[in-house]
Structure 1
Amino acid sequence: MALKTVILFSLVSIIPVTYVSQKETPLANAVFWAARKGNLALLQLLLNSGRVDADCRDYFGTTALMVASYSGHFECVKELIMQGADINYQRETGSTALFFACQQGHNDIVQLLFEFGASTELQTQDGGTALTVASQYGHPKVVDTLLKNGANVNDQLLDGATSLFLAAQEDHVTVVRQLLSSGAKVNNPREDGTGPLWMAAQMGHSEVVKVLLLRGADRDADRKDGSTALFKAAYKGHNDVIQELLKFSPSLGLLKNGSTVLHAAVIGGNHKTVRILLEANADPMLPNKNNELPADLTKSDRILNTLHPKTVSGEIL
């Protein structure tokens, strides 16, 4: 079973509800609270007192600027910057204020951070960047701003997943188109060989599959386990995806994993999928590596009758 690539740090663990600064001072905790709630007046009062630093941090290295950026409070972000907050400071996980603003889709804050020198190159512990997280969460305006400010369209997580992969995985069609138009490599796979097309197919994202194919995705690219996008879509019963893939004449024969897509469809148990593949000339008499025909892998009369309309008890008449 394929695992979805997910940027490592969950929102809850990134921005706790309560804060404990390194010095555990009430004033520092109040700065975090004001940044999270968007209370500009209180934030200004605290910072102007001279008794608390704009870069006060919690135990994980989270700064008030990160909190305000995540929470979408533009004026608080601006105030913290004016008070000298470090734009590119990275918390323990590697995340920055820009990362959080991109994750949440706060494009006005993203633009503001760029005005004051935010970097697109800083990475989280799993290799995540501002562009990978904006792509994963599907924020087209943010993606556009990042690309215009020099973000690398082919950034990769440590497991090899690109921004395009993450957008394809989550069915963000607009972002997929943006990234491809900006030079994203359509066939770049993860370390396990899973490419954007394979992932979109197994998730059932037919529109993303269509876009990727039209932009040159390899219809027969396989993972290290030998399965292709069509094989996975057939197993899952994603018939809309299968129809898109069939327009590009993918392989219906024996794959590197020792089976055919028709075997996958039969195991998946969707008789409509079986019928679609048969209509595309998949061969029901082609055995797998174990010398099993597709019909040998099911007890469903409906599927058996679809495979061989003149069949009784699994035997061809």
Structure 2
Amino acid sequence: MSTRKGNLALLQLLLNSGRVDADCRDSFGTTALMVASYSGHYDCARELIMQGTDINLQRETGSTALFFASQQGHNEVVKLLFEFGGSTEFQTKDGGTALSAACQYGHSKVVDTLLKNGANVHDQLHDGATPLFLASQEGHVTVIRQLLSSGAKVNHPREDGTAPLWMAAQMGHSEVVKVLLLRGADRDADRKDGSTALFKAAFKGHNTVIEELLKFSPSMGLLNNGSTALHAAVMGGNHKSVTLLLGANADPTLPNKNNELPADLTKSDRILRAL
């Protein structure tokens, strides 16, 4: 409670009493240092360290004090932990690391500190998601640039075949899509279900994403899922998405695997007129 509230005087009183172990844990394996790190209470974290707490203890979930500080964006605490031997090597039960947590939440200063202290830009969750994938999913452009400059693989997919570009397109993050494409992302990389970034953006009606993708001449033909991006746009019901694709020479006479034309998939007079 003293570390959660940042009460340094009470914390010192408890630790100096000789009755409390600095590494005492709750029922989930949480230590006071983890609480101080999560809450960003630098002075409490430093006091615990000076009293001999083990910086790299793991909670039941596998999280460490460094993980929590990184997740919450407390860069000064992160630096403190590194100063006294904090390690980036520990993983949570799902494969998460301090770097993946910082990237997911967009804490660019923490990401910089972690990378400078040996964090692995190629870390992966158990499903194959990399820090770059997580940052792309959440739309954190600055973090994405940091990771790419540090050697992150722009096309590395998750186990289901989802690449960072596909995920950014699905989420509507047009600036992320632009950065990834400029750094060599495969515009036509598909997931195991055969859908591409353009197909997903078209279905979702993310028109600014579609515009960015069209600058790199993605495939307008039949994809491995047996359909086209134009079919997806028509099914999504977004008139502008349809017109953008038609303006990029998408073929409205090309049938899908079920021998359906795009026009067969809508009752919208406006879209039918465009087709």
TM-score (norm: length of structure 1)? 0.87
Identity of aligned residues (%): 84
Superposition misfits of 4+ residues, deviation over 6 angstroms: none
Shift of 1:74: 0.2
Bigger Rg over Cα: 1
Alignment of 1:1-317 (within 5 A): 33-307=1-275
Shift of 1:232: 0.0
CA–CA distance in 1 between the matches of 2:8 and 2:162? 46
**Counterpart residue identity of residue 184, structure 1:** A
Taking only aligned residues, the RMSD between alpha carbons, in angstroms, comes to: 0.3
**Counterpart residue identity of residue 246, structure 2:** L
CA–CA distance in 1 between the matches of 2:175 and 2:70? 24
CA–CA distance in 2 between the matches of 1:72 and 1:299? 55
**Counterpart residue identity of residue 84, structure 1:** G
Question: Aligned residues, how many?
Answer: 275
**Counterpart residue identity of residue 83, structure 1:** Q
**Counterpart residue identity of residue 198, structure 2:** L
Q: Deviations over 1:94-138 (max 9, x none)?
A: 000000000000000000000000000100000000000000000
Shift of 1:203: 0.3
CA–CA distance in 2 between the matches of 1:145 and 1:275? 45
CA–CA distance in 2 between the matches of 1:69 and 1:150? 20
**Counterpart residue identity of residue 197, structure 2:** A
Which secondary structure does the structure 1 equivalent of 2:203 belong to? helix
**Counterpart residue identity of residue 303, structure 1:** I
TM-score (norm: length of structure 2)? 1.00
Which consecutive unaligned segments of at least 5 residues does structure 1 have?
A: 1-32, 308-317
CA–CA distance in 1 between the matches of 2:70 and 2:260? 50
Shift of 1:50: 0.1
CA–CA distance in 1 between the matches of 2:164 and 2:122? 13
